[in-house]
Amino acid sequence: MIKASHEAVMVNEVLENLVFEQNGKYVDCTFGAGGHSLEILKKINESGTLVAIDKDQKATVNLSKDFTDDGRFRLVNDSFSNLRSLFDDKEVDGILIDLGISSIQLDDPKRGFSFQSNGPLDMRMGQNNFSASEFINKSNRKAGGGLQREF
């Protein structure tokens, strides 16, 4: 039985509108805790494939055997903004992008997303860029009222 630590939302609607070919190639651009990916793997057959992408390195560290033991699955730790460089045109049959943050990110005060817990002002999906605190503290107002980074 496949289990997920985080319950994905609108799973039936996603599958109904995404997986048309059981032997197709699908991309989950926001892997997170893997809830949608698990359901996609259940729906495709042995010839189908799923590539999951997530910028958040913490989301991709403790993968369950449901993923690591499945030859149809591959995980890429990158931003979905690089999707075009990862695949050729018309190479995939469906792409899922579940935008936003998850309860896993909100529940961890160290991530800096929560308004209910004290923690650093971080708000990064990955650790490669500057934090929200660095952005605020190293930015200047420019003419017109916008912020301009100095780093």
Q: At what angle do helices 35-43 and 11-18 cross, to 10 degrees?
A: 50
At 85, the amino acid letter reads S
- Cα separation, 127 vs 57, whole angstroms: 8
Q: What is the pLDDT of residue 148?
A: 60
pLDDT band at 56 (very low <50, low <70, confident <90, very high): confident
Q: What is the pLDDT of residue 69?
A: 95
User: For residue 81, what are its two tokens?
Assistant: 């903004």
Mean pLDDT estimate for the chain: 84
Tens of pLDDT, residue by residue over 94-112, are 999 988 776 777 778 887 8
